[in-house]
Amino acid sequence: MITVSRAVNGSGYVSRETRKRIDEAIRALNYVPNQTASNLRSRQSDLLALILPDITNSFWTTIARGAEDEAWAQGYGVFICNTDNDPDKETGYIERLLRHRVAGVVIVPTPFPASETQLERLRQHEVPFVVVHRRLHRVAADVVRSDGQGGARQLTTELLKRGYRRIAFVGLSLMDSSSQERLDGFTEAHRQAGLSPDPRLIRIGEREPEVGRELVDALLHEPDPPDAILLANSRLAIGGLRAIVRSGVIIPDQLAVAAFYDISALDEYAPALLTATQPAYQMGQLSTRRLIEKQKLDRQRPGQFTEVVLPTTIHLPDAIAVRA
């Protein structure tokens, strides 16, 4: 039995002839080693976990592809968890991952305080993790994210340069750090131009397209409607753009629109928009690379964290009108 264990786990010397007989027996019996039991004994695993909000959203699936490609290149498999931004579901996944002793976790945390508690539990159990896209308030961590604030600032600055002054902002709940950063960029661009945004034109909602439609429709029916809109989330942008089209307002001739463009559902609108695109694949790739590095670095230099901020790509089509 000890000889079989050595052959299966590669943990000691086994002669070539003996290994050949054991391999033939394994194939005949259709035997699969119990990797979970092995992990519990050795505290080692070749499986990483990737925790995302919504795997039907192409932004998150692109992050997943970057993470999986990097993990596979370095000898790891990836287990993908979908939380729906539900902290209870996130907690349930983390409990399971702790039981299976995964080698590490790349996570887009929910925008709720409970997420930080769960990340502390990972740390207590010595499971390394890297945060993607969102920043944490109370937990020090390695983070890989895009420069949402810079992207929103550049888009707003471009609208202001072209003469637009009543610029609306449509974004997510400010509990989400990425939404707060984009609102900060929007406000900063106005301040740098010596202006103040009209607070009545700032609308915050949930991430569903239907909410985006309602928020933008209400803006278009204001007594003094905006002459430009920054749609600071791609899913909100889907509904917002549908509301604009249904109203009969022509983009960009009658209304300039800037948007964060991270999902394929916006492709048909993209040529008429000012857009900011996040480097999703690179975010997944770099966060996974950092996670694998952490398994070594944490033993050598515990308590050291890095934040990687990747620039957004801005596209400014010539079709956007300049106001007189």
Tens of pLDDT, residue by residue over 185-198, are: 999 999 999 999 99
For 40-146+280-310, CATH number out of 3.40.50.11140, 3.40.50.300, 2.60.40.10, 3.40.50.2300 equals 3.40.50.2300
User: How far, in Å, CA of 69 to CA of 191, rounded?
Assistant: 42
Question: Residue 30 is encoded by which pair of tokens?
Answer: 């259709």
Indicate if the pLDDT at residue 322 is higher than 50: yes
| Angle subtended by helix axes 209-220 and 234-247, to nearest 10 | 40
Indicate if the pLDDT at residue 319 is higher than 60: no
pLDDT range class, residue 90, cuts 50, 70, 90:
very high
Say which range, 97-101, 215-219, 315-319, has the weakest mean pLDDT: 315-319
Q: Which of 137, 132, 233, 141 is nearest to 179 (CA)?
A: 233
Whether 138 and 302 have beta carbons less than 8 Å apart is answered as no
* Mean pLDDT value of segment 72-100: 94
Specify the pLDDT at position 164: 96
User: How far, in Å, CA of 97 to CA of 197, rounded?
Assistant: 45
Indicate if the pLDDT at residue 44 is higher than 80: no
Which residue do the tokens 């983390």 mark?
94
Specify the pLDDT at position 19: 56
In b/e form, how buried is each residue of 280-292, taking b as 16+ CB within 10 angstroms?
bbbbbbbbbbbbb
Indicate if the pLDDT at residue 16 is higher than 80: no
* Mean pLDDT value of segment 25-51: 61
Helix (H) or strand (E) holding 107: strand 104-107
Kindly list the domain boundaries of the chain, sorted by start residue: 2-33, 40-146+280-310, 148-278
Specify the pLDDT at position 175: 87
User: What string of DSSP letters covers 257-324?
Assistant: EEEE--SGGGTTTGGGSEEEE--HHHHHHHHHHHHHHHHHHHHHSTT---EEEEPPEEE--TTS----
Whether 102 and 47 have beta carbons less than 8 Å apart is answered as yes
The SS3 assignment for 64 reads helix
- Burial level of 206, CB count in 10 A (0-12/13-18/19+)? middle
Asked whether the domain spanning 148-278 has the same topology as the one spanning 40-146+280-310, the reply is yes
User: How far, in Å, CA of 72 to CA of 263, rounded?
Assistant: 25
* Mean pLDDT value of segment 130-150: 93
Indicate if the pLDDT at residue 309 is higher than 80: yes
* Mean pLDDT value of segment 140-169: 96
The SS3 assignment for 170 reads strand
Q: Which of 262, 303, 307, 293 is nearest to 135 (CA)?
A: 307
Q: Which of 244, 213, 214 is nearest to 228 (CA)?
A: 244
Question: Residue 312 is encoded by which pair of tokens?
Answer: 């957004």
pLDDT range class, residue 157, cuts 50, 70, 90:
very high
pLDDT range class, residue 36, cuts 50, 70, 90:
very low
Indicate if the pLDDT at residue 84 is higher than 50: yes
pLDDT above 70 coverage of the chain, percent: 82
The residues pairing with 202 across neighbouring beta strands, listed in sequence order, are: 169
For 148-278, CATH number out of 3.30.1520.10, 3.40.50.2300, 2.40.30.60, 3.40.50.300 equals 3.40.50.2300
Range 196-204, long-range pairs (CB < 8 A, 24+ positions): 197/167, 197/169, 198/166, 201/166, 201/167, 201/168, 201/169, 201/226, 202/168, 202/169, 202/171, 203/168, 203/169, 203/170, 203/171, 204/170, 204/171, 204/172, 204/173, 204/174, 204/179
Specify the pLDDT at position 297: 65
The SS3 assignment for 180 reads helix
Specify the pLDDT at position 298: 59
User: pLDDT (tens digit, 9 = 90+) per residue, 203-251?
Assistant: 998 878 789 999 999 999 999 999 999 999 999 999 999 999 999 999 9
